[in-house]
């Protein structure tokens, strides 16, 4: 996340990077960065840079990332859990959440439905 070219490498579908990002813990961390308010004592880059990069990675046109996010019920529930946060929602995180969800709905509509 601290590397300047992580987004470009992901979009270029660097296999090692994509494989790393697809690890369950990495995917969970990416979703956490865009859905949970960071604590007040964390560095600025964790508050702003990491959520932004996480959003960009999750919405990049890398089908493996879209597939993993859309197919993993635990990740989807974590993503949807953002809507249960106490009001008022952080506007920056809300924008990241809505961007990720709109991309998922567009690319994987059958996977992100909330039907029970």
- Quote the pLDDT of residue 99: 94
7 neighbors 56 (Cβ within 8 angstroms): yes
Q: Supply the pTM of this predicted model.
A: 0.86
Q: Comparing 113 with 80, which gets the higher pLDDT?
A: 80
What pLDDT is attached to residue 1? 64
Delimit the domains of the chain by residue range: 6-107
40-62 b/e (C-beta count within 10 Å ≥ 16 → b): eeeeeeebeebbbbbbbbbbbeb
Residue 116 in this model has a pLDDT that exceeds 50 = no
How far out from the chain centre does Cα 76 lie? 10
The answer to whether the CB of 36 falls within 8 A of the CB of 29 is no
Give the pLDDT of residue 5: 85
pLDDT of residue 113: 63
The tens digit of pLDDT for each residue in 33-92 reads 999 988 888 887 778 889 999 999 999 988 899 889 988 989 999 999 998 877 778 889
Could you check whether the bond before residue 37 is cis, i.e. omega within 30 degrees of 0?
no
* Residue range 18-36, pLDDT digits in tens: 999 999 999 999 999 999 9
pLDDT of residue 40: 80
């Amino acid at each position: 996340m601290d590397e300047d070219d992580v987004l470009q490498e992901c979009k270029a579908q660097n296999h090692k990077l994509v494989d790393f990002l697809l690890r369950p813990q990495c995917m969970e961390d990416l979703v956490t960065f865009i859905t949970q308010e960071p604590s007040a004592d964390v560095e600025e880059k964790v508050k702003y840079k990491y959520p932004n990069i996480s959003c960009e990675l999750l919405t990049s046109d890398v089908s493996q990332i879209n597939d993993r996010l859309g197919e993993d019920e635990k990740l989807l529930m974590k993503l949807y859990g953002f809507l249960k946060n106490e009001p008022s929602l952080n506007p920056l995180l809300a924008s990241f959440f809505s961007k990720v969800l709109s991309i998922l709905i567009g690319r994987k509509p059958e996977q992100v439905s909330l039907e029970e």
